[in-house]
Amino acid sequence: MSSQDLESLDVEGIRQQFPILQREFDGQQVVYLDNAATTQTPDPVVDAMSDYYRQYNANVHRGIHHLSQEASIAYEEAHDRVAEFINADGREEVIFTKNTTESENLLAYSWGLNELEPGDEIVLTEMEHHASLVTWQQIGKRTGADVKYIRIDDSGRLDMDHARDLITDDTEIVSAVHVSNTLGTVNPVGELTDLAHEHGALSFIDGAQAVPNRPVDVEEIGADFYAFSGHKMAGPTGIGVLYGKQELLEDMEPYLYGGGMIRKVTFEESTWGELPWKFEPGTPPIAEAVGLHAAVDWLEDIGMDRIRAHEQELAAYAYDRLDAEGDVEIYGPEAGSDRGGLVSFNLEGVHAHDLTSILNDHTVAVRAGDHCTQPLHDKLGVPASTRASFYVYNTREEVDKLVAALDDARQLFA
């Protein structure tokens, strides 16, 4: 994308759709750089959810009255819209969950517990989020399957030679994060999927940090399963997505049971309904689905390529500004490479939690800790890091404010 295209992104106009970004603390306007945890929600998404509650609040698939019919149509259309957004074949391949974590657990329990056995192998990466790492670790303990990890190199990228050695005919599933929430690394998920398939294994991709800020085509990637969350893509909390190939989902047993997901129930037996409802028991996240639909519309109106370019530009700018400080250690690939819109770092002599508290005094909101990647931080040799993460409404001036605030930390810990 050219610089002219990037300049055409009306960031100030976008910011006006987020009243929270106008908030002030002690006379200082908030600088929100914690988007890898949760993005803010624009007015059109809030309005869509409010309209549902004010105009057609009713349960879905349970009534023939007008309100229920309107709610049911909106809920089903949200599946269709998400399927279109990621290029799935249809709503049958889009299951709504609470978040990425529940999507991963759904797969692990419905597929993993039933298919894995001693001698099988689960291959992950060393940069996995706990949602993936802990889930597969526990499934491995229950089934006897071995869990193995693809190494990262000194640049924070996957060692693909090691991946080719590690993925064998004993591998049953390869589970990899699309974009690391700590390193910003963009993994070659298509290549990992191809390696899995060459050995008869399935692939699962954690797209929580990818779908919000770059075009994602599950057909092009070839993934068997792919998951992401609404609250990281300008949508509401409480809704996530598990994409799965239809033939695989049809063969899987549900792991949650109740109303809305059955075809027929007797006192002795039950049979399951059609996809995707088979995996969506009980009253689903109706308002959240309406909000997710609105968020997808909002993102595509801006353009996913433009969002990716904006984030990459900000991440590169932040990397260069922090790197120039001399006493800042940055983790992950260098600036200028294809990396997600975040920078994790440590300031020499200052713990990440202390630094984050000082930044908060300047109304700069960042994240400190292990970012749900404790094993990765162990490998990096640090207990925690500070993470600044960007989205479509962030600016260079906000990065400058972050960097300027480091001087306070230096003085306090001199």
Active site residues: 372
Q: Look up residue 47 and give its two tokens.
A: 């309005």
Contact 331, 345 (CB under 8 A): yes
Contact 333, 349 (CB under 8 A): no
DSSP codes, 247-315: HHHHHSPPSS-STTSEEEE-SS-EEE-STTGGG--SS--HHHHHHHHHHHHHHHHH-HHHHHHHHHHHH
Smallest CA-to-CA distance from 35 within 246, 184, 155 is with: 184
Strands 367-369, 328-331: pairing is unpaired
Q: Is the dihedral of CA 219, 223, 227, 228 positive or negative?
A: negative
Question: Which letter does DSSP use for residue 334 in this model?
Answer: P
Question: Which letter does DSSP use for residue 110 in this model?
Answer: I
Q: Look up residue 105 and give its two tokens.
A: 């657990």
Cβ atoms within 10 Å, residue 395: 16
